[in-house]
Structure 1
Amino acid sequence: MTERTKLVTGGARALTGVLITAAAAAGALLIGTLNFPTVESEPRATQVDTMQTGARELVCAGAFAELGADPSRPDVALPVGRTNVSVSGDGERKELGSSDTDSTSVGGAAVFTGTMSEPLAAAQIQQLDTATLSGTVAGECVEPVNEQWLLGGASMLGYSTTLSLGNPGSVAATVHISVFDENGKIDDQQTSGVIVAPQSQQIISLNGYAPDSERFAVRVTSTGAPVGASLSVSQIDGINPVGAATVTRQVRAETVSVVPGVANEAVGNHGDGDADSFPVRVQAIAPGEAAGTAEVFALSAEGERISLGGIELQPGTLSELEVVTWPKSANAVVVESEVPVFTAVGGSANNDTAHDFDWFIPAPELSADTELRAAIVPGGKLILTNSGSEPATVTISSDDDSAPRTVEVQAGSAVPTDAKGSVTIESTAPVSAGVRVLSGGAIAGYPVIPSSEPDGELTIYTR
């Protein structure tokens, strides 16, 4: 091919490309200016029930854990004895295994599984009577979460505190424990991560985390799987056991905390003057960055609101109010704070032959016209607390086929009422509920916790 032929051929190809490009541009412009008929379809909304196959789990801590129960391993905490568990609602029980190498460490730690669409509650109680333990302990079985707080422990001379971690999930949970006492947060170097195997329980001694602390609060966070946590606190005077408590966890710091069931009944409880020999103690910690103050009140069954004093709050420091004289007519405590706090109230029982104590924690508020399942342990009494400004009519229905009954709870009152076993509670106004066991030298209690209710409907749009 000659040079002239090559030039002619190349020019023709270039011209053809230019013409094609121009035609495409013109066509696109023409399409953009023309109105073609369109077909539109509105998205269709379909409501899907997400709670049909969802599962709800409640973790029960099982038997009280004692540090040094095995003399050959004094630094290991082991469950002692068995618990009596009460269940309200339909749930399948499964035992949790032990994360320890000790396969005999079986104390009844369990998980109850039900459906998200049906309310479920469970609680446990245990009588302790050994050479090193005495008292009555009770606690609510709780839904596993990724962050929770526990108050009421101590590690000074005579006190022992252990932390129970239950993982009902199918994967391991990595748990970080942060401890705060009367001086603030314990150095992070003294805390560590704990691995809790799937479907198992791990028991940790806290005395080594915060030695010689008069009081401490524990923040538990987990990754991998949520866990249920509780404290076991015992006290010994010389060689004589003088009481024990199981402490249920808390999830949210509040500016208004309602603590049902608090009592301080004892024979010869008065020392000098009118002061109690075993005073009620109110503890509070502000987990945020702000300081503030809190005012503490007691509520009676007659609606009397009694001021108990105030608490100065510093961030991350566990503060305490000692109530010199507990009002004998009171059945609950209300803590009103300038900043959100976690709180706990320590009460006691004493007679000529026995002494016991317990830590009561706030109960979440039950919304009006909402059914709440409650499990009442043997010997327990239901404490209904109305911290609002409107009276509440509470209907209590028992699963034993007895007729429902109503209890009038006036504004600003805390009313004890009889209830047994599995019951359903519904109120015309918001109330908080707790269960208290009080007999002679024994005391125990726990909050009635509403089930977490995620939104049960999901809207899906289809075309």
Structure 2
Amino acid sequence: MTVPEEPRNQDDERRAQASASDEHVGAPDSHPERVSDERTTEASVAGGSADFVADDTPETPVEVPVRRPVDRRGLALVGARALTGVVAVAAAAGLIAGASLLPLPSLRTTPPSVAVVPDATEERLACPGPLVELTDAGDEGAAVRAFGSADPIADATGDLEQTGLMADDISGAAPVALTAQPSEDEPGLPSLVAGAQSQSAATADVRGFAATACGVPSGDSWLVGGATTTGRTTFIGLTNPTAVAANVTLTLYGEQGPVTAPGTAGISVPAGGQIVLPLAGFAPDLVSPVVHVQSRGGQVVATLQQTIVRGLEAGGVDLVGATAAPAASLTVPGVAVTGSAALAGRIGEAGFEDLQTVLRLFVADDADVTARVSVVPDDGSTTGASFDLPLEAGRVTDLPLDNLTDGSYTVHVEADAPIVGAVRLSQVGATGAVDVGWLPAAPPLSDDALVTIARGGSPTLYLANRTDDAVTAEVSGQAVEVPAGSSARVPVAAGSTVPLAGVEGLYAAVTITGDGAIASYPVLPRSASADPVRVYP
């Protein structure tokens, strides 16, 4: 018997269709356009209800995640895994922290290099020549004229040649160039060479004694000394012993600060020549000038010449060489004071104020500093002085050194910036004749040196030791003990040559005194032109 099929309602048909569609989940729709084109939805709202009529396209079922119950074992497993992760992270952090505290290995390499000793070359010096003065040149105004003889002397450990140089626009004797060949005894080192000159003057406008060392040509040097006030005339001498013309720039400073003047740049000094310029042409009425000399091309030896006339009385002359290069400390040995009572008497007269002993300082930097000045007697007594001195950048400072009794002293200056300086001394003779002398700061010496002693007066060699240990030096082969922090004096013969040995780190100067005469100049170190040079490929 055939059992008739029970009729299925609409819900049963839909479940059947859904079941059939489950079998084809993921299969591509053969008629995709039916989803967008044939499916329509109509809604009629009546009495707050809505009926939806859908087409026959089967609906895609939405899978709802089923949350499974977690038993105690699962909780323990999850906790163990989490704890393991925390421990691992902590261990990694500990390793990183420990590595940061331990010294890390470093890899350092020293680049290959070789020390090359250049072949020793000839050494050059230049002596500035005789004193000069201003003369009446008629319609052309004043002219510079040389007079007298400078009496230069020189010596060297190698062959020495002396050559006269041209002196443009100056009549009279010419300056001298000194050229020394490498020593045959020490072929790897440049020759030790030294020279000095001196001259006494007794004209109506120039009277006194002047002496200076023959200088080393340089592209950068400092001149400290002179004045351009009434009765004080200062000349700048530029001597070029090289074979190349020099282009020179002068930078001027005074007690009021930098001095701007036309004509201080582009000054041409011919090869093998010399020019002399009145400082007052650039900067009149300067009480305390300092001149920075820079040259391109050829190098020059720069000097100052100061002459003093008080009323109708000629009152001194001196030649001043370059001072030691700017440094945080400077030393001026050989500050000889004689006839202090006679000086004190004349300082009280009108126009004689600049007979006073003065330390002139300038900061070669842009910052104000406080300098620490020490005036140390050479005889080891405790009558010296020590004090602080404020120095303003750009301004020259003159510090009077009062109450110095007869004797010799060494002046030390320390600062927190590079400085340059010199000391001015005066001498009054038995007849009342007055002279002036400028003592530039001395450079430190190398192991050995050579110094010539200019002719005239009574010369003395001064050796200053700024270290904490005594130094035994040799002067002309004789041992000389230089105490720690003090100085030694050695009388030397005028016109002689004095070899020095074992003087590394010392400072030295020659001071010449006489009746109404004083002059001084520093001892220069051996040239560094043949020092070893380290080359990196």
Deviates more, 1:357-366 or 1:113-122: 113-122
3-state SS of the aligned residue for 1:169? coil
Instruction: Tell me how far 1:449 sits from its aligned partner.
Output: 0.8
Within the candidate set 354, 357, 365, 1:288 is matched to: 365
Instruction: Tell me how far 1:137 sits from its aligned partner.
Output: 0.5
Q: Within 1, Cα distance between the matches of 2:280 and 2:177?
A: 27
Does the alignment pair 1:307 with 2:385?
yes
Instruction: Tell me how far 1:208 sits from its aligned partner.
Output: 1.4
Instruction: Specify every segment of 5 or more residues in structure 1 that has no aligned partner in the other structure, as ranges.
Output: 1-43, 398-403
**Which has a greater percent of helix?**
2
Does the alignment pair 1:396 with 2:475?
yes
Deviates more, 1:155-164 or 1:331-340: 331-340
Deviates more, 1:263-272 or 1:228-237: 263-272
Q: Within 1, Cα distance between the matches of 2:430 and 2:346?
A: 19
Instruction: Tell me how far 1:76 sits from its aligned partner.
Output: 2.3
Q: Within 1, Cα distance between the matches of 2:422 and 2:115?
A: 42
After superposition, give the CA deviation of every residue in 1:92-141 in whole Å (9 maximum; x if it has no partner). 100110222x5xx2333111011352111111111111111111111111
Higher relative contact order (CA 8 A, sep 6+): 1
**Which residue is 1:400 aligned to?**
none
Taking the TM superposition and a 5 Å limit, the aligned residue runs for 1:91-110 are: 91-100=160-169, 105-110=171-176
**Which residue is 1:364 aligned to?**
443
Q: Within 1, Cα distance between the matches of 2:230 and 2:536?
A: 63
Does the alignment pair 1:426 with 2:501?
yes
3-state SS of the aligned residue for 2:528? coil
Within the candidate set 430, 436, 448, 2:511 is matched to: 436
**Which residue is 2:374 aligned to?**
297
User: Residue 285 of structure 1 contacts residue 316 of structure 1 at CA under 8 Å; is this kept in 2?
Assistant: yes
Q: Within 2, Cα distance between the matches of 1:148 and 1:128?
A: 27
Q: Within 1, Cα distance between the matches of 2:141 and 2:514?
A: 33
Q: Within 1, Cα distance between the matches of 2:141 and 2:386?
A: 40
User: Residue 300 of structure 1 contacts residue 415 of structure 1 at CA under 8 Å; is this kept in 2?
Assistant: no
**Which residue is 2:179 aligned to?**
113
Q: Within 2, Cα distance between the matches of 1:362 and 1:70?
A: 37
Taking the TM superposition and a 5 Å limit, the aligned residue runs for 1:271-350 are: 271=345, 278-304=355-381, 306-307=384-385, 309-350=387-428
Instruction: Tell me how far 1:455 sits from its aligned partner.
Output: 4.0
**Which residue is 1:450 aligned to?**
525
Taking the TM superposition and a 5 Å limit, the aligned residue runs for 1:25-424 are: 50-52=118-120, 54-68=121-135, 74-89=141-156, 90=158, 91-100=160-169, 105-115=171-181, 117-189=190-262, 191-266=264-339, 268-271=342-345, 278-304=355-381, 306-307=384-385, 309-353=387-431, 354-367=433-446, 370-378=447-455, 379=457, 380-397=459-476, 404-420=477-493, 421-424=496-499
After superposition, give the CA deviation of every residue in 1:23-48 in whole Å (9 maximum; x if it has no partner). xxxxxxxxxxxxxxxxxxxxx99986
Deviates more, 1:419-428 or 1:57-66: 419-428
Q: Within 2, Cα distance between the matches of 1:208 and 1:273?
A: 29
1:385 alignment partner AA? A
CA 422–352 in structure 1, closer or farther in 2 if over 3 Å, else same: closer
3-state SS of the aligned residue for 2:317? strand
3-state SS of the aligned residue for 1:108? coil
Q: Within 2, Cα distance between the matches of 1:360 and 1:71?
A: 37
After superposition, give the CA deviation of every residue in 1:52-78 in whole Å (9 maximum; x if it has no partner). 4x1211011011122337677653222
User: Residue 364 of structure 2 contacts residue 417 of structure 2 at CA under 8 Å; is this kept in 1?
Assistant: no
User: Residue 151 of structure 1 contacts residue 343 of structure 1 at CA under 8 Å; is this kept in 2?
Assistant: yes
After superposition, give the CA deviation of every residue in 1:219-268 in whole Å (9 maximum; x if it has no partner). 11111111111000010011210001111113511222111111232252
3-state SS of the aligned residue for 1:77? strand
- Percent identical among aligned pairs is 28
Q: Within 1, Cα distance between the matches of 2:113 and 2:367?
A: 45
CA 99–251 in structure 1, closer or farther in 2 if over 3 Å, else same: farther
1:342 alignment partner AA? V
User: Residue 150 of structure 1 contacts residue 250 of structure 1 at CA under 8 Å; is this kept in 2?
Assistant: yes
Instruction: Specify every segment of 5 or more residues in structure 2 that has no aligned partner in the other structure, as ranges.
Output: 1-111, 183-189
1:204 alignment partner AA? L
After superposition, give the CA deviation of every residue in 1:272-298 in whole Å (9 maximum; x if it has no partner). 999x97321001011111110112222
CA 337–200 in structure 1, closer or farther in 2 if over 3 Å, else same: same
User: Residue 78 of structure 1 contacts residue 203 of structure 1 at CA under 8 Å; is this kept in 2?
Assistant: no
3-state SS of the aligned residue for 2:422? strand
CA 281–69 in structure 1, closer or farther in 2 if over 3 Å, else same: farther
Q: Within 2, Cα distance between the matches of 1:341 and 1:149?
A: 10
